[in-house]
Structure 1
Amino acid sequence: MAPPLLLLQNIMLTLGGKPLLESAELSVSAGARVCLVGRNGSGKSTLLKIAAGLIEQDGGTRFMQPDATIRYLPQEPDFTGFATALAYVEEGLGPLDDPYRARALLNDLGLTGEEDPRTLSGGEARRVALARVLAPEPDILLLDEPTNHLDLPTIEWLEGELKGLRSALVLISHDRRFLQNLSRQTVWLDRGRTRSLNQGFAGFEAWRDQVLEEEEQQQHKMDRKIAAEEDWLRYGVTARRKRNQRRLAALNTMRSERRQRQSRSGEVQLVATEGKVSGKLVIEADAISKAYGDRDIVKNLSLRVLRGDRLGIVGGNGAGKTTLVKLLTGALAPDSGTVRLGASLQMATLDQSRSSLDPQVSLKDALTGGGSDFVEVNGERKHVIGYMKDFLFGPEQARTPIGQLSGGERGRLMLARALSQPSNLLVLDEPTNDLDLETLDLLQEMLNDYQGTILLVSHDRDFLDRVTTSVLMAEGQGRWIEYAGGYTDMLAQRGFGVEQRQNAAKSAGKAGDKGGDKGVKAETERPASANEKAGKRRLSFKEKHALETLPKKIEELRSVKDKLQKMLDDQDLYQREPEKFAKASEAFAKADAALSSAEEEWLELEILREEIGG
């Protein structure tokens, strides 16, 4: 087996007197695709920083190959001291790296490189930080929530870019679809320890549930044994006698183990406070339009939202999603057309920017409005400390200023505030930001049980598929089209991915009149055939044959690598059969090189085929 590029063993770390990591491990080999999952606060970001060499662990070992290169994407990049975005990206390049790639990546991400880092939005800052870690094409990429603040076209672009890299990846993300599409190994960080699954994220949740079920059965058996031992302690032979001290020590050990098992964080209790039933018609928009200067945000949109609908709103950054929501909810007047709201509407809103949170206000006052110790939920008064516990806040955090909360904690606070308000219309603008996967599951279940109507703005494709009954998609130039079903259904009906269609719309907009029908027509025109492209050659027989046979060859090489990997995963193989270990390591290296060569050849031929329409 080829030695790992990066290896963490028995990592221990204590923060604030409380153990955060206990015997955590991580192994990253060349070309690995690892997703690191766990609840908010479990220490995922901390473990990634230790892997990057930014934090020193209290115990355990960190090993990295001396010639390996590593790049780390933090959740909040520091632009201090950089005059432009390009300067920040170029500073991350090594002496042998291509400086042109830095500017090319920024252009791909919709930036010029001349932007002032101090004035970047959240999405722009994330794109600049991504360009910095991608430009050098390092041996190992450590990415902490890379999709945060990105729109769907950029997320899909990033997926394609990462799939094409030879770098090993370690990903932390709350975006299920992103993890499913990129990962081949899953590391679960739970209560300070790691468990590893030799599958991508798609197989993780079933495996995790099985592990927790087995753990629950073991805990039940231990509880029964403890009860029997406690009964002996109370009514049996006195524990002060010397021969019974060992049995008493065993009982104390079992109690300690039970406390450790029960230390797993509880679950968020998500219950929406539902108001009275609204009328059947919730929102009716009739030919509404809105423009800023010569830019159309919404043009001639007619839409009906009925009680119980779950409408997802999708589009790139700057498409006007938030403006559209304000138009539909009556917070903003259209330039033309009318919006009619149904009877008896009670609206609760969760905004993306968290702008309604005053960083100086305490957590308790943010939930109660100040001057009270109670929150009204579903018509019942509940003490604020109990309500905080429903969202995994400890009593000691009651007076904590909001500005000191983490991103995940602020996300849970926004949910707590929104769900405590009586409503029959929920308006959720990027509710999945900074939430862990377990909380997303519970939020999805709550929304599915919600009896009212939902307007949902989100870039989380999996979440849209699970929650929405229809999707309103930004098609460019102020056009919005509603598609039945979730995000995947929308893609099937459009026949194009988000980024492809938007690029087509941009090209059409340049060729046609502003806001005219030419742009719409150009989106659906078929591409020119190979015969219509003058001066372009056809694929040779050899190239066609390679395109047909390479996929099978690639699969066979992957299968060989997987078999060799399983053999080399045997930790005792080297000591037991060193010759067999050496041969397997050599075969693995050859298979890896052959696989990389085959994949590169196929990719070059596929690009050529697309360019000439062959």
Structure 2
Amino acid sequence: MLGLLRQDISVSILSTEQVSHSFNDRWLFNDLHFALQKGDRVALVGINGTGKSTLLKILAGLIEPTKGRVVKEKGLQIGYLHQDPDFSNLATINDFIFSLDNEQQQLIKEYEQLIENQDVTSKKFLDVTERLTNLNAWEYENNIKTILNRFQISNFNQRIDSLSGGQKKRLALAKLLIDEPDIYILDEPTNHLDIETIEWLEKLLSTGQKTVLLVSHDRYFLDNICTEIRELDKGQVYNYKGNYAYFLEKKAEREANEILAADKARNLWRKELDWMRRQPQARGTKAKARIESFYDLEEKSKGPRKKDNVELSVKVSRQGNKILELEHVSFEVPDKKIISDFSYVFKKGDRIGLAGKNGSGKTTFLNLITSQLSPTSGILSVGETTKYGYYKQEGLSFSADERVLDIVKNVADFIEMKNGEVITASQLLTKFLFPPEKQFGFVSKLSGGEKKRLQLMRVLMANPNFLILDEPSNDLDIDTLNVLEEFLEEYPGILLLVSHDRYLIDKLTEQLFVFKGNGEVVIYNGNYADFKQEQLELDAAEKKEERKQEKVQVKEKDNKQKLSYKEQREFESLEKEIADLEEQISQLTGELSSSNDHVELQKIAEEIEKTKSSLDNKTERWMELAEYI
């Protein structure tokens, strides 16, 4: 049902009671009601600066509201993912991943440390493994490793202060998933994840009766996880049961009705204003009722007008015939190939998406073509008229005392638009929804999304004809993203897009450079949806071929009547050899428990592994022959 959300608090596991909050002397929301029930999977949407992240922090108990309170079920565990996680007082990944108050996690941490410790005694090792068995922690240990491997976290002793911003975000998300809280509150969880990991995360969060509240710009992610969209708009929450496409449709209807009602109220208010001015001071009872109605009407007339949107309309520099040519370009670091023997000639109208796992070489490729890195080998030739606009995912660089207007004037005081009009830096900021009070404010006071919008404006105002966007959807609100998409659909220059947002890649690109991670870059004609579908079909064909081969092998076995004399002798011999090997392993294990000599322990352990390997091979052969006895 469309309208203000009013859920029954008695069945909610987390809710607010008349919560109000102010920020920088401005009320974000007043008397807000927000409730979550077990199993809800809710997306919170709204333009930058409306207070989405603030509301998430209030619900998670990280900040106190200015007024009102949050009520939660007794013993409720809330997992909160920050946009920018804080790891104060934590030195290594180990310190963060394994909680002090979780016995299983601390035991797994001890086990991992023993594996790496060469001086450990067999008694200590056996004691820890036995405790893990008693706590049924082996499966939990496997789940932890699966999650950490998915997020490319393997070195538990790595210092947290050596991690990049993206690595820290992935580490924080991994920890939250390991802890399995009662409620997952996630602020932009897909930022810094590759597409494969996002698809894995979608399955994890939508499996079982998980309760999820998230803020995300990724429309495919929202559709695949959430069953409900809640919009925070002008201090109120509007509820839409359904996916993101349904939300867009119903939101447009609501806004159109509100604008229409406000326009009618304004027209009627003007007539009543004329009556008010003509009335004498002494008024009767009917006149007083009409006066009260006038003030109610005045309030309604202040309702919404047609909403301002970001305006993207800048001039594109002229582009010559030669744009950018790569001939047998390679880039290597010690012991690793990043890009190997890649060639491509960019053509007018190219719209290319870069796909591949994190660390596969996408950002390196962008730095190569913009001459921030030099290739190890090969030739990279840039056309004389090629003018790059490079939007980097790291964000803006600014000083604490810089004002928003200064950031723009550092590039240019005047900017030429697509229609030939020349406007001032201040006028351009207004088109990007930065009103005068924000223009003269400090950049440090802007929200994360507003900083990204300012960065995008700085890139576009240079009139590039070769636009490189590295994760442009991170922290941009969906309304700004929609405007950006419309602009890019009509953009006449070269577009090179790196994004984990599958919707964005599908809508804006016609070709992919697929980074395999071993230096190989494959050129694919089509967008990500085409590529994914083709991969699924190839996987299905491979599985079909495997099943066909299995049937052939079964048929061949069925056709085989009995063992030959030689195979019969081998079968009998194997039975004795297997028994001997099992006895050897038993003896070696006994020696392992009684020795304290580290060198001797290492030799015994290696001998056990070697004997086990031999036992496995012989057992497998014995089982193969046993089928025909």
Shift, 1:173, TM fit: 0.6
Q: Secondary structure at the match of 2:152?
A: coil
Q: Which residue of 2 aligns with 1:85?
A: 93
Q: Give the direction of change, closer, same or farther, for the CA distance of 1:377–1:240 in structure 2 (3 Å limit).
A: farther
Shift of residue 65, structure 1, vs aligned partner: 1.4
Out of 136, 157, 164, the residue aligned to residue 200 of structure 2 is 157
Go from structure 1 to structure 2 and tell me whether the alpha carbon gap of 1:268 and 1:92 turns closer, same or farther (over 3 Å shift): farther
TM-score (norm 2): 0.74
Distance 1:387 1:165 in 2: 48
Q: d(CA) in 1 for partners of 2:551 and 2:99?
A: 42
For structure 2, list consecutive stretches of 5 or more residues without a partner in the other structure. 1-7, 106-136, 555-629
1:59-208 matched pairs, under 5 angstroms = 59-91=67-99, 94=102, 100=141, 101-112=143-154, 113-208=156-251
Q: How many residues align?
A: 509
Equivalent runs, 1:435-584 vs 2, <5 Å: 435-495=476-536, 528-529=546-547, 532=550
1:145–1:173 Cα contact (<8 Å) kept: yes
- The answer for the alignment partner of 1:327 in structure 2 is 368
Residue aligning to 1:383: 424
Residue 367 of structure 1 pairs with residue 419 of structure 2: no
Aligned twin of 2:379: 338
Q: Which residue of structure 2 lines up, in the alignment, with residue 37 of structure 1?
A: 45
Q: Is the 8 A contact 1:75 1:145 kept in 2?
A: yes
Opposite residue 107 of structure 1, the aligned amino acid is N
Q: CA deviation at 1:338?
A: 2.5
**Counterparts in 2 of 1:9 and 1:316: CA distance versus 1, 3 Å:** same
Q: Distance in 2 between matches of 1:423 and 1:18?
A: 37
Map Cα deviations across residues 210-250 of structure 1 (whole Å, 9 max, x no partner).
1111112212211221222233345x434774664543443
For 1:294, the equivalent position in structure 2 comes to 335
Of 337-346 and 216-225, the range deviating more from structure 2: 337-346
Q: CA deviation at 1:201?
A: 2.4
Deviation at residue 452 of structure 1 after TM alignment: 1.5
Retained in 2: the 8 A contact 1:239–1:245?
no
Question: Is the counterpart of residue 392 in structure 1 residue 433 in structure 2?
Answer: yes
What is the alpha-carbon distance in structure 1 between the residues aligned to residue 364 and residue 352 of structure 2?
15
Deviations 1:386-435 (A, max 9, x none): 22222222322334443443211110111111111122221111111110
Pairwise CA distance, 1:176:
0.9
List per-residue Cα deviations over 1:167-216 (Å, max 9, x = no partner).
21111111111111100111111111111112132421111111111112
Residue number in structure 2 paired with 1:25: 33
- 1:326-360 CA distance string (max 9 Å, x none): 33345544333333334522222212212654555
Question: What is the CA-CA distance between 1:289 and the residue it aligns to?
Answer: 1.7
Is this contact kept in 1: 2:262–2:302, CA < 8 A? no
Which position in structure 2 is the counterpart of 1:563? none
The residue matched to 1:82 in structure 2 has which SS?
Answer: coil
Find the residue that maps to 1:483 and give its secondary structure: strand
Identity of aligned residues (%): 33
What is the distance in 2 between the residues matched to 1:326 and 1:114?
30
Task: Please say if residues 510 and 527 of structure 2, whose CA atoms lie closer than 8 Å, have aligned partners that are also in contact.
Answer: yes
CA contact (8 A) 1:310 1:453 kept: yes
- 1:103 CA drift (Å): 4.9
Contact 1:71–1:133, Cα closer than 8 Å, also in 2? yes
What secondary structure sits across from 1:47 in the alignment? helix
Pairwise CA distance, 1:437: 0.4
Contact 1:92 1:133 in 2 (8 A): no
> Are 1:283 and 2:291 counterparts?
no
> Structure 1 residues 121 and 232 mapped into 2: Cα distance closer, same or farther (>3 Å)?
same
| Residue 55 in structure 1 maps to residue 96 in structure 2 | no
Q: Which residue of 2 aligns with 1:505?
A: none
Query: How many Å separate the matches in 1 of 2:367 and 2:551?
Result: 46
CA distance in 2, matches of 1:185, 1:162: 14
TM-score (norm 1): 0.76
Identify the residue that residue 134 of structure 2 maps to in structure 1. Answer: none
The 5-angstrom pairing of residues 9-24 of structure 1 reads: 9-24=17-32
Q: Which whole-Å CA distance do the structure 1 matches of 2:72 and 2:157 have between them?
A: 35
1:160, distance to aligned residue in structure 2 (A): 2.4
Q: Distance in 2 between matches of 1:449 and 1:156?
A: 30
The equivalences for 1:416-435 within 5 A come to 416-435=457-476
Contact kept? 2:41, 2:228, Cα under 8 Å: yes
Distance in 2, Cα, partners of 1:455 & 1:363: 28
Cα deviation, 1:3-36, whole Å, max 9, x if unaligned, reads: 2221224432223332211243322222221111
Check the 8 A contact 1:286/1:303 in 2, yes or no. yes
Which string of whole-angstrom CA distances, capped at 9 and with x for unpartnered residues, describes residues 473-519 of structure 1? 1123111122223221121233389xx99xxxxxxxxxxxxxxxxxx
Which one is further off, 209-218 or 225-234?
Answer: 225-234
**CA deviations over 1:18-72 (Å, ceiling 9, x no partner):** 2211243322222221111111111111111121122223444532111332211
SS at match of 2:516: strand
Amino acid in structure 1 at the alignment position of 2:166: G
How many angstroms apart in 1 are the aligned matches of 2:452 and 2:545?
44
Cα drift, residue 456 of structure 1: 1.2
RMSD (Å), alpha carbons: 3.1
Pair 1:314-2:322 in alignment: no
1:272/1:446 contact within 8 Å kept: no
User: Per-residue deviation at 1:376?
Assistant: 4.7
Match of 1:408 in 2: 449
Q: Is the 8 A contact 2:49 2:447 kept in 1?
A: no
User: Structure 1 regions of 5+ residues with no counterpart?
Assistant: 502-522, 537-614
Q: List per-residue Cα deviations over 1:137-159 (Å, max 9, x = no partner).
A: 12211111111222223222222
SS in 1 for 2:33: strand
CA contact (8 A) 2:262 2:300 kept: no
CA contact 1:12–1:22 (8 Å) conserved in 2:
yes
Larger Rg: 2
CA distance change for structure 1 residues 531 and 427 in 2, over 3 Å: closer, same or farther? closer
Whether the 8 Å contact between 2:265 and 2:300 is mirrored in structure 1 is no
CA distance in structure 2 between the partners assigned to 1:464 and 1:246 by the alignment: 59
CA distance in 1, matches of 2:327, 2:281: 81
1:287/1:463 CA distance change after superposition, 3 Å:
same
